Structure 1
Amino acid sequence: MKEKYTYPNMIKHMRKKGITFESTDERSAINTLSSKNYYFKLTSYRKNFEKNQFGKYKNLDFGYLTDLASIDAQLRYYLLQLSLNIEHGIKTILIDLITKDPKEDGYSIIKDFRSYNQFGYDQTMIYLKKNSYLKDLYIKHKAHPSVWMFLEVAPFGTLSTFVDFYFKRTNNKRIETAHKFLKYAKNIRNACAHNNSILVNLFSDKERLRFANTSVVSLGIPMGLTHKLMRDRKVNDLVCLFYLHKTFSTSVESYEHFKREGNRLLNRALRHKNYYEGNANLSTFYNILNALINY
């Protein structure tokens, strides 16, 4: 069994790996590790930096790791807000379509969805049952849930499968884009919702798709991205997220607000650009982000 790292041992190990403490002293670094972030997450950003022939990181200071952690936290928050906006827009369209459809009574469609995806149905109803703020909805509607109630509480994953179900049921063009791309955007949404780092393993072979998705490529090319870049799984998913956000934003004002917030994030990411001079992966990723935000 490996020995548990104390904070001084963490510092010692980082120094052994070539991480310097020039922008912050060791005492401040220990304070960061004990109260602001934690070792496993903070050191995960080291993967963005090259090693020399002796296995030590080149040009990597502890301050660079804390800066990337801050940028990544703000990026996750921003992308999660986009996801929530997409979710609201898609649910609004689904409700509109079903409400206006004389062939739908609003109840049988949920029975049919239950047959189509028992897991998604159960997941939603269990969530509703356990929700301390919505127990009245569960008690009132558990026997005969309506589509209006169901979509109100359906989690993102269930929404994605419901979109697929509804498109196959109706072939409605208003929801076709969500049918094609929501399952990819969901990967970004889940990573952000579960506080998983985004700025790690950038352009790693482990995240490379065997083939670029031709439908996603057709979205990315007008954004200024290359076919090669879109073989990266994270880029693939981000293209889908931003395209869906542009498609399903419920107002121009909302879309422009998130565009401004995205550019604010880019400015923050480049505050210490001297830290990352020569870092091709980070530079490429920020260029991609810029293209997506300003498309």
Structure 2
Amino acid sequence: MMDDAKKLTAWGMDDGVHDALSLKPITTPKQQIELLRGKGVTFERCAEERALEILSNAETYLHLSAYRVLFQRHKDGPDAGKFVSLDFGDLLDVSFLDDVLRETFRLMAKDVERAVRAWLVSEAARRGEDGYGIVADFVSSLPRGFREGLRRDLVSRSQADEYAGSLIDHYRDAVPVWVLLEVVPFGTLLALYLFCVERWDEVGRREIHYALKDVKAVRNCASHAGCLCNGFVPERETRHATSGVALEWLNAHGIRNSKGRRARLRNRRTQQLVTTVALHDMLAGEHAAPATLDAVAGLRPLMDDAIARYGTQNPLVSHLAFLARVLDAARG
């Protein structure tokens, strides 16, 4: 029989609500600071009182502590397992860098999305497509579940979406392609892009469709404020191949195949970020939003500062240096 003192009620994606043992208890900000101290984190660059305020009101322990994987630990001796010269201020600095990195790439992804929408509408018009018929053909081509999900989403939003609802409702009886593209999520946009590429026999653009999935992944991470930099560690190496579109772009911009390039591109997050830069340059190019260009310009000094501060012992540095080189290549 379970010990009531240790039993907790939990919800799981597989088992639903159930009794569970040996789960981590919720902690207060003070307890979180003690946990960090126990791991060797210091509070010199950021005083403990300030850290307490941050953990209470501004940022969660889970989010900030996620960046500790980037820092070295003592391998042996009395401090084995504890971090080497890691201060709470370092976690804040990396978190801030991550915020700026994510926002920059969110803007880049938005530029790419807009460029894809513009190309689809203009190309459909150039080819003499019926703007309504192409939507009918596209929706009819979708699997039943996808098709019904799209319909339910649009019907619901036609009444509840403050921003796009009136547009959706106005065209509910006959949806043209230029409206559909304005109101569907990125995933549906990609499905429509592939449908059109195949319909028009645009063989060269099929590879772009698959590369756009990387842009979508980056956009989702950035939009939902997930951690990005904590994935720049050797443990996150992937067997997933880098997009051929991105590799060709790197070659064309002087970042040739090398041991260093291959090492960086074994990281899935770096793959996706590089692909986003490549597609932004290819599809948005000189039409990039000024806010995006300003964000890239503001990001670069932060990257350089982190590279200079943390040195080669931090895996973050090699990935930042590679990304900096890629961004500079895109800026010409």
Alpha-carbon distance in 1 for matches of 2:308, 2:116: 41
Alpha-carbon distance in 2 for matches of 1:275, 1:231: 24
Alpha-carbon distance in 1 for matches of 2:242, 2:164: 42
Aligned equivalent of 2:271 = 236
Is 1:150 the counterpart of 2:180? The answer is yes
TM-aligned CA deviation for residue 203 of structure 1: 3.6
Which segment is superposed worse, 216-225 or 157-166?
Answer: 216-225
* Structure 1 unaligned residues grouped into runs of 5+: none
TM-aligned CA deviation for residue 207 of structure 1: 4.3
TM-aligned CA deviation for residue 100 of structure 1: 2.1
Aligned equivalent of 2:194 = 164
Superposition CA RMSD, Å = 2.4
After TM superposition, the score normalised by the length of structure 2 is 0.80
Q: Which amino acid aligns with 2:227?
A: S
Q: Which of 74, 77, 91 lines up with 1:65 in the alignment?
A: 91
Secondary structure at 2:231's aligned position in 1?
Answer: coil
Q: Which of 114, 119, 125 lines up with 2:154 in the alignment?
A: 125
Aligned equivalent of 2:107 = 81
Structure with higher Rg: it is 2
TM-aligned CA deviation for residue 35 of structure 1: 2.0
* Structure 2 unaligned residues grouped into runs of 5+: 1-22
TM-aligned CA deviation for residue 246 of structure 1: 0.8
Aligned equivalent of 1:115 = 140
Distance 1:195 1:187, change over 3 A: same
Runs (4 or more) in structure 1 with deviation over 6 Å come to: none
After TM superposition, the score normalised by the length of structure 1 is 0.89
Aligned equivalent of 2:34 = 12
Q: Map of 1:93-242 to 2, 5 A cutoff?
A: 93-102=119-128, 104-118=129-143, 119=146, 121-122=150-151, 125-126=154-155, 128-129=157-158, 130-172=160-202, 175-176=205-206, 178-223=208-253, 224=255, 226-242=261-277
2:215·2:275 contact (CA, 8 Å) conserved in 1?
A: yes
Is 1:2 the counterpart of 2:24? The answer is yes
Distance 1:255 1:2, change over 3 A: closer
Alpha-carbon distance in 2 for matches of 1:213, 1:166: 20
Distance 1:277 1:69, change over 3 A: same
TM-aligned CA deviation for residue 20 of structure 1: 0.9
Alpha-carbon distance in 2 for matches of 1:137, 1:263: 36
- Aligned pair count reads 293
TM-aligned CA deviation for residue 75 of structure 1: 1.0
Q: Which amino acid aligns with 2:302?
A: R
Q: Which amino acid aligns with 1:98?
A: A
Distance 1:235 1:166, change over 3 A: same
Distance 1:215 1:91, change over 3 A: closer
Alpha-carbon distance in 2 for matches of 1:24, 1:158: 45
TM-aligned CA deviation for residue 141 of structure 1: 1.6
